[in-house]
A and B are shown apart, each in its own frame.
Chain A
Amino acid sequence: MAKSLLIITRQSPWSGPGAREALDIVLAGGAFDLPIGLLFLDDGVFQLAAKQDARALQQKDLSANLQALPMFGVEELFVCADSAAQRGLDPSGLSLEEARALTATEITALIDRYDQVITL
């Protein structure tokens, strides 16, 4: 049975390659049919803010790749409700509908459920 891996992404989308490089780990895992989960935590929740415009910074659109996650077999998508609330983001208005909002207690249990974790 394959080991499960949870990726916790804490970087905002336009602060450097961190958000994209976290997503690349997830996509690679999905491509190999591995059980991968993705949690958006702290500034990572900004990756899911609606109506972003990557072209304003001459960057590639991250949200297109995020929307593609279920197609790569990655359906375990989560967002920290507290992180979103602290940043004035409504969890129901985020750009990735499949991402489930979790409380702190639920996230503690989530980390426990996975075999390995990478927080970047």
Chain B
Amino acid sequence: MKFAIALFSAAHAPSSRRALLFAQAAVAGGHEIVRLFFYQDGVYNASDSVVTPQDELDLPKQWRAFVSEHQLDGVVCIAAALRRGVLNEEEAGRYQRQAVAVSAPWELSGLGQLHDAVQDADRLICFGGA
């Protein structure tokens, strides 16, 4: 089965951890993840700037490792990211901002990528809220 997984909540939200565990179970079960799409506060999961205490779960780090290991397509909605100050080098340069918070494997792109994933996948599953 092909899954599109969309995440709407920040890294510290329990729903974000559930999204990662679901994604890991899907891959372990032999399924394909066509795209991970981060929207609304979900963009914070792609931030390099998040600092997690040593004795807590570092979700941005775990997402990055998961996406890299399985060579997944990790897309962050650019409009949602800009609004929340999660900029990559290109956008930081464009808007003359100091902080670069997003780097590879994450890609900033538009909502068209979400729609594309919905068309391609057999199942769309969204995580967020709480």
Report if B126 contacts A (CB, 8 A). Answer: yes
Number of interface residues of A (CB under 8 A): 17
> Which residue on A lies nearest to B4, using beta carbons?
A116
How far apart sit A25 and B79, CA to CA, in the bound complex (Å)?
11
Query: Are A21 and B40 interface neighbours, CB within 8 A?
Result: yes
Residues of A within 8 A of B112 (CB): 28, 31-32
Query: Are A25 and B40 interface neighbours, CB within 8 A?
Result: no
Within 5-40 of A, Cβ neighbours of B (below 8 Å) are at: 5, 17-18, 21, 24-25, 28-29, 31-32, 34
Number of interface residues of B (CB under 8 A): 17
> Which residue on B lies nearest to A117, using beta carbons?
B124
> How many pairs of A and B residues are in contact by the CB < 8 Å rule?
38
How far apart sit A98 and B112, CA to CA, in the bound complex (Å)?
25
- On A, residues with C-beta under 8 Å from B are 2-3, 5, 17-18, 21, 24-25, 28-29, 31-32, 34, 116, 118-120
Other than the known A21-B39, A21-B80, A32-B115, what 13 A-B pairs have Cβ atoms closer than 8 Å?
Answer: A3-B118, A5-B118, A24-B79, A24-B111, A25-B39, A25-B114, A28-B110, A29-B111, A29-B115, A32-B112, A34-B115, A118-B6, A118-B126
